[in-house]
Amino acid sequence: MIYATLGEFYKHFEGSQVGPEDAWKVYLGAKKAALKMQVFGRHVKIGERIMEVTVHHKRENATPRGITNEEMNNFKHSASAKANSLVGGSILALPQKGWSFGINDAWVCGGVHSGQEFHCASDPGANDNVFDAKHMVTVTGRELIGLAIAGYQRARGVSPKFGAVYVSTNKDYGLLDLVSYKEQMDAFDNDQEKVRDFLLKHNMIN
């Protein structure tokens, strides 16, 4: 289901840490992203701060794959200094303590519901980028699950910046919504092997 109204969205949203108003803004921001694409993956942090990419990193080809401050600058919306999903940037970026699984799922749905490409800043073939011993999957893993539900597949070619690009393979952009997302997550019953089989079957990971 593609959400056309706030009322439709409210019926499906089950946020716990933040209210549905911010989730709705994120959904619309992603859906109307100026760059017509989304970037997802693990944030590369030093302590609590997203890593700054220096000239030395670039010269030595030593920049780790993932979302760094460079991505936050490059995939922003013109109305903000950094990537900001609330106003249509192409990375889910929120004020501190504003994140929740519900917000994250709404962001994925927003990009999917307008048929955008999703570019993976991290290596989806690396086990620790996708799976987590405590929580079954990482947030990146959860995002890959959402794309699989929506009928996305990895493109054969690779982006020079990002190794994996995921594209929609059908015109039914409403295959994924907040309800189908939650139902699939619940169906895994916290079984990591079920998730692995699901992602392999849908060619999301190697």
pLDDT digits (tens, 9 = 90+) for 143-152: 999 999 999 9
As for how many domains the chain has, the answer is 1
Angstrom distance (rounded) from CA 1 to CA 175? 7
| pTM, to two decimals | 0.89
Reading the block at residue 201, the tokens are 């079957």
Angstrom distance (rounded) from CA 114 to CA 3? 11
- On whether residue 194 sits in a domain, the answer given is yes
- What is residue 56's predicted lDDT score, i.e. its pLDDT? 45
- On whether residue 21 sits in a domain, the answer given is yes
- On whether residue 51 sits in a domain, the answer given is yes
Find the domain containing 58 and state its range.
6-201
pLDDT tens for each residue of 91-143: 998 766 678 888 999 999 999 999 999 999 888 888 888 998 888 999 999 99
- On whether residue 181 sits in a domain, the answer given is yes
Element (H, E) at 78: none
Angstrom distance (rounded) from CA 145 to CA 150? 9
- The count of C-alpha atoms lying within 13 angstroms of the C-alpha of 206, restricted to the half-sphere facing its C-beta, is 8
Reading the block at residue 119, the tokens are 């570019």
